[in-house]
A and B are shown apart, each in its own frame.
Chain A
Amino acid sequence: EAQVTQNPRYLITVTGKKLTVTCSQNMNHEYMSWYRQDPGLGLRQIYYSMNVEVTDKGDVPEGYKVSRKEKRNFPLILESPSPNQTSLYFCASTLSGSLNSPLHFGNGTRLTVT
């Protein structure tokens, strides 16, 4: 089944403790992206990747890192999480960076930083 898999679904952590949210897709998509969703603000793009070893900042990249060593995986890293990073996070992928095909979304990761 074609899908985008995020883990974990729920995560509660403390300020400053490094964490990684994993994202994997099995559709051989070139383009992958991370979004955060906060009430009243819709989805805001954190980072995106056009292909392996090609990543770029979205609208809200501060406090996050990503890597794209393999085509299928695009982990999101929070080196020193802070409470303002409490949010619902989504990973998404699509065929190419021309964005003329639908994005496929994971089921989300709800992160709470205390």
Chain B
Amino acid sequence: SQQGEEDPQALSIQEGENATMNCSYKTSINNLQWYRQNSGRGLVHLILIRSNEREKHSGRLRVTLDTSKKSSSLLITASRAADTASYFCATDGPDSWGKLQFGAGTQVVVTP
């Protein structure tokens, strides 16, 4: 069963614009991670945020976590064509030891 669900399913923006995608999950978590996947390749880790953290930054990426709403958002600022990819959130929790569960992903297309 999927723990996380990303929204929207697909997003199309122009270079320079910001892209925001959301992840909602159902049960309590220990950590939430965001990954990027380029066209059928292996996933690449972007950011890990722990349940006691509210916000993290990494370069042009900003992740927020609201455990009261069981949701997280990933913001990509000043997007580039190279940001075109699918983005997935993944969660692990105290009720699912050893399991890291992924959502279905958001497909982002950045046009020049």
Contacts and interface: CB of A to CB of B under 8 A. Distances in A.
B97 A97 contact: yes
26 contacts: A35-B102, A41-B2, A41-B104, A42-B2, A42-B104, A43-B43, A43-B88, A44-B102, A45-B99, A48-B99, A59-B1, A59-B101, A90-B42, A98-B30, A99-B30, A99-B31, A99-B98, A99-B100, A102-B48, A103-B43, A103-B45, A105-B43, A107-B42, A108-B41, A108-B42, A110-B40
Interface in B67-90: 88, 90
Among A42, A50, A102, A107: residue with most chain B CB under 10 A: A42
A100 B48 contact: yes
Interface residues of B, number: 26
B103 A42 contact: yes
B41 A107 contact: yes
Interface of B: 1-2, 30-31, 33, 35, 40-45, 48, 50, 88, 90, 92, 97-105
Interface of A: 4, 31, 33, 35, 40-45, 48, 50, 56, 58-59, 88, 90, 92, 97-108, 110
B45 A102 contact: yes
A56 B98 contact: yes
A88 B40 CA distance: 8
Contact of B102 (A4, A43, A50): A43
